[in-house]
Every structure is written in C-alpha cells, then in structure tokens.
C-alpha cells in the first residue's frame, strides 16, 4: 500500500509552531512534526526519534532520549527541520519489556545484553517507515541529526539520501553513563563516541 499523508494539523508547542503530519499505509501511529520553512530546503534537517515514554514524558535519566528530543525541537524551531516520531519504544521491544530490561541492567548487564536475555535483537526498530514518511512529503534527501549510523543506513537503503550527518550533543549525567558508554562502544554511535572521548580528555586535563 502506498504511503500517503492522512492528516495535517497545526500544533503550537512550547518551542514554537509545528505542522503535524499523520500517514496512511504505514504500520503504526507514527507522525512527523515539521518546523519552520522546511519545504523550501533541498535537504532539510531531520531527526528520527523513537518514542521513549520514560524519558520523553517523565524525564527519566537512565537514558538521553528526553534531552535529545528537546535538542531537536529547539534546533528545528530556531531554523527549520522535521522530527519523525516513531512509536518504537525501547528500541522496538515495547514499554513493559523495556522495564524488564532495566531490571537486568540493574543486575549488571548492558542495554544490549539485557535485550538479548529477553529474547530480542540488540535493536528491533524499522527505519524503512521513516523513509516512507519522508518520501510521502516529497523529500528524498536530508541532513540527519543522529549519532546512530543504523539510521543513516535505514534511510539510504530505502531511497532517502543522507547528504550530511549532524551529531547530537552528549546529554550525560551520572545515571546514564553506562548506557551512553554501551551505545558508543557496542552500538557504534560514532558522534557520541567522539563526544564522550572529548569529555574524558577534558576531565583529565
């Protein structure tokens, strides 16, 4: 089934006015928040953000999801850009399984080991849907705000060219250090890896 825009509404947010798009022809209730004059840009900035109820809504410090969401919305409000919000909680394992994974992390396992112990892959998200949504808006090339190379591959393997990758900031705190280190060392988040390395150098300077 062809992916097409279903609804477009205007939503005032705490960061500014956004156009919100929903889609038909996709599996899941995923949406795009579009800020500024994004449609005039040949390759608009894009953030693919996977839903994190604990971080996005309740401010959990176990991860960096909430701060990354805030960063993207602030940046795009100041210039322009699109936030693709995917309902793929816990890297695709769902909220309840994510809480079970937290228990395993508290027992000493990293975030990827915890997923595997629950019978899941390291990352079960599907980024094809993000590419389908972008193409429905007439977008076939972007500047991607992400530290995760899997998102680049997910777009490019599905017909959306990533002209540049823009690294997100490192939103570190004492409660998410192990989580961030696992993403850098095991998940291949290269921008994050560089930022953590620079922070470590500064701490020892």
How far apart CA 185 and CA 35 sit, in angstroms, is 33
CATH of the domain at 180: 3.40.50.10990
Q: Is residue 108 part of a domain?
A: no
- The verdict on pTM exceeding 0.85 is yes
CB 128 within 8 A of CB 149: no
Domain enclosing residue 129, as ranges: 4-88+125-199
Does 204 fall in a domain? no
Q: Which is catalytic among the residues 56, 64, 123, 132?
A: 123
Find the angle CA(84)-CA(88)-CA(91) to the nearest 5 degrees. Answer: 110
Q: What is the pLDDT of residues 120-140, one digit of tens each?
A: 998 889 899 999 999 999 999
Q: How many CA atoms lie within 13 A of 109 on its CB side?
A: 16
136 within a domain of the structure (yes/no):
yes
Domain assignment present for 144 = yes
pLDDT single digits (tens) 57-80: 999 999 999 999 999 999 999 999
Q: What is the largest CA-CA distance in the chain?
A: 56
Q: In what order do the strands lie in the sheet with 45-50?
A: 4-12, 17-24, 31-35, 81-86, 45-50, 141-145, 161-166
Give per-residue pLDDT as tens, 146-190: 998 889 999 999 999 999 999 888 888 888 888 788 777 755 677
Q: Based on the residue annotation, tell me whether 27 is a catalytic residue of this protein.
A: no
Clarify whether 123 is annotated catalytic. Answer: yes
Q: Please state, in angstroms and rounded to a whole number, the distance separating the CA atoms of residues 42 and 50.
A: 25
Q: Is the pLDDT of residue 191 over 70?
A: no
Could you give the count of Cα atoms lying within 13 Å of 145 in the half-sphere of its Cβ?
23
Is the residue at 159 inside a domain? Answer: yes
pLDDT attached to residue 118: 94
Structural domain includes residue 148 = yes
pLDDT at 200: 40
**Within a domain: 118:** no
Q: Is residue 17 part of a domain?
A: yes
Q: Give the active site residue among 125, 150, 161, 165.
A: 125
Domain count within the chain: 1
The CA dihedral of 127, 133, 138, 141, to the nearest 10 degrees, is -20
């Amino acid at each position: 089934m062809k992916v097409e825009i279903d609804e477009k509404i205007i939503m005032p947010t705490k960061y500014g006015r956004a156009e919100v798009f929903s889609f038909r022809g996709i599996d899941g209730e995923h949406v795009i928040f579009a800020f500024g004059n994004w449609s005039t840009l040949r390759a608009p900035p894009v953030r693919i953000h996977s839903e994190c109820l604990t971080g996005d809504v309740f401010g959990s410090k176990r991860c960096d999801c909430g701060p990354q969401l805030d960063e993207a919305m602030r940046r795009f409000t100041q210039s322009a850009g699109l936030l693709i919000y995917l309902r793929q909680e816990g890297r695709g394992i769902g909220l309840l399984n994510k809480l079970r994974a937290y228990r395993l992390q508290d027992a000493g396992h990293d975030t990827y080991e915890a997923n595997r112990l629950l019978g899941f892959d390291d990352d079960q998200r599907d980024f094809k849907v993000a590419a389908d949504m972008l193409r429905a808006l007439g977008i076939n090339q972007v500047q991607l705000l992400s530290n995760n190379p899997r998102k680049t591959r997910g777009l490019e393997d599905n017909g959306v060219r990533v002209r540049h990758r823009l690294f997100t900031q490192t939103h570190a705190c004492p409660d998410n250090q192990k989580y961030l280190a696992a993403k850098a060392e095991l998940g291949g988040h290269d921008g994050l890896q560089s930022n953590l390395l620079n922070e470590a150098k500064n701490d020892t300077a």
